[in-house]
Amino acid sequence: MSPKALDANSASDEELVRRVQAGKTDAYNILVVRYQHKVISIAQKFVSDYADASDIAQEAFIKAFRALPNFRGESSFYTWLYRIVTNAAKSFLESSQKQRSQVDVDDEVFASSKLPESLTDVQTPDRIMESEELKQVILKAVSELPAELREAFTLREVEEMSYEEIAAKAGVPIGTVRSRIFRARQSIESRMEQFRKG
């Protein structure tokens, strides 16, 4: 079955993942086409050279394909893929002994797909300027969260800890952790909406 036959425009990520897991590997080509530019953009947060970023992207897609049978949909496909890309980029830097430049923990918070994916889809100079401004709004919003909300949000989005692990670390019930993360996201999204409305 060809990628075209899978109706690439209407098929959701979840549907494509299910098809790949069912043995219809051509569906993975659609996911690659759908996310290749975003994956390269993520890689370029770690390396400035486009060829290196392309190599990282290719490695990430290969790793993702191999791991896809174990993907359970506990997060969105993009969230899962983002983590694979960042890990591939870090491995690349470690193996090549290159210095990571202009990237810190806050960038990882910004790039999390819990926030709108359009933020990582930079295509034009205007979009670059808008994204950079919005990025600063998001980072400021995170920094100004109450300590308990900021900690829960950061542990979840940056450290990729489970709700159970965060609850144990903070010494609070899981329900409290979920509430804190929800409130943190609400606060950040509110600041983003204010920015968009000018």
Rounded to the nearest integer, the mean pLDDT of the chain is: 77
pLDDT grade, residue 102 (50/70/90)?
very low
Which pLDDT does position 5 carry in this prediction?
46
What domains does the chain contain, in order, with CATH numbers?
1-99 (1.10.1740.10), 104-198 (1.10.10.10)
Query: What's the rounded Cα separation, in Å, for the pair 100 and 110?
Result: 17
The confidence score (pLDDT) of residue 117 equals 43
Confidence grade of residue 121 (pLDDT, cut at 50, 70, 90): very low
Instruction: Tell me the residue type at 96.
Output: S
| pLDDT of residue 120 exceeding 50 | no
Listed as own residue / partner, the contacts of 108-112 with beta carbons closer than 8 Å and 24 or more positions apart are: 108/157, 108/158, 109/138, 109/139, 109/142, 109/153, 109/154, 109/157, 109/158, 110/135, 110/138, 110/139, 111/42, 111/45, 111/82, 111/86, 112/79, 112/82, 112/157, 112/158
The token pair that represents 138 in the structure block: 């998001």
Report how far apart, in Å, the C-alpha atoms of 179 and of each of 77, 142, 149, 170 are.
24, 16, 9, 13
57 and 43 in contact (C-beta within 8 Å)? yes
- Write down the pLDDT at residue 198: 66
What share of the chain in percent tops pLDDT 90? 12
**Confidence band of 16 (pLDDT split at 50, 70, 90):** very high
Any idea which residue has 């806050």 for tokens? Answer: 106
User: What integer is the mean pLDDT of 164-176?
Assistant: 87
Q: What pLDDT is attached to residue 185?
A: 85
Q: For 58-96, how does the pLDDT look when each residue is reduced to its tens digit (9 = 90+)?
A: 999 999 999 998 898 888 899 999 999 999 988 888 776
For residues 8 and 194, the model is more confident at: 194
In this predicted structure, which of 11-20, 32-41, 107-116 has the lowest mean pLDDT?
107-116
* Nearest residue to 190 via CA among 131, 127, 129, 144: 144
* Residue 35, pLDDT above cutoff 80: yes
**What amino acid is encoded at 183 in this protein?**
R
* pLDDT at residue 109 greater than cutoff 50: no
